[in-house]
Amino acid sequence: MNNNIRALRTARGLSQEALGSALNVSRQTINAIEAGRYDPSLPLAFKLARFFALHIEDVFDDGEETLGS
Amino acid sequence: MNNNIRALRTARGLSQEALGSALNVSRQTINAIEAGRYDPSLPLAFKLARFFALHIEDVFDDGEETLGS
DNA sequence: TCCTTATGTAAAGCACGCTTTACATTTCTA
DNA sequence: TAGAAATGTAAAGCGTGCTTTACATAAGGA
């Protein structure tokens, strides 16, 4: 599962720590997700997408064919 | 985390077993998710939403304020 | 250069997602 | 009303999501 989190975060000038704090997760969790070491839980995926005002499918990509919009 | 899976599934005349098979998960996994006993992993949430041709946010609801569309 | 901030990563530990096996109950249908 | 299909649920076991603690490295500002 790939994701855009690093790009979205840095575009907003946020550190991993700041993003983690905003979402109530540790900076290591943000780092691991950005690095692709593991996928977030569904609740955390919701928080991340909502934080960036995007759909989950616009933040994460599971590599399968996507919907028309 | 609430979800519409039971309604979406039965609207299509599928058993839990049939849906599980289509997504390569066990019927117990479908049952547990429908019953709200646990949330699916993010990859399984992608599969479920894609199966029903919906966005993840249209299948699952984490109870927080949602986006404009 | 020194200090601070940011990042990368590792280990131990706990909680949960998903499996298989198994059994009970409900519901449909012949 | 009997049998089959569907559903509900439980337990054991494995992998992983996330935590805290800890240490190392990189980069920027005074």
Q: Which domain holds residue A12?
A: 2-57
Give how far Cα A54 sits from Cα of A59, A66, B25, Å: 7, 15, 28
B50 and chain A in contact, CB less than 8 A = yes
Give residue B11's identity as a one-letter amino acid code: A
Phi, psi angles (nearest 5°) of residue A63: 85, -5
**CATH number, domain at A37?**
1.10.260.40
The reply to whether B29 falls in a domain is yes
The reply to whether B31 falls in a domain is yes
Give the C-alpha separation, B42 to A45, whole Å.
7
Q: Are strands A60-61 and A2-3 parallel, antiparallel or unpaired?
A: antiparallel
User: pLDDT 10s digit of each residue in chain B, 69 long?
Assistant: 999 999 999 999 999 999 999 999 999 999 999 999 999 999 999 999 999 999 999 999 998 876 555
A40 and chain B in contact, CB less than 8 A = yes
CB of A69 nearer than 7 A to strand D: no
Tens digit of pLDDT for each residue in A15-26? 999 999 999 999
A24 and chain B in contact, CB less than 8 A = no
H helices of chain A, in order, are: 5-11, 16-23, 27-34, 42-51, 56-59
Question: Mutation test of the interface with chain A: which of B23, B46, B55, B58, choosing the one with the most A Cβ atoms within 10 A?
Answer: B46
CB of B16 nearer than 7 A to strand C: no
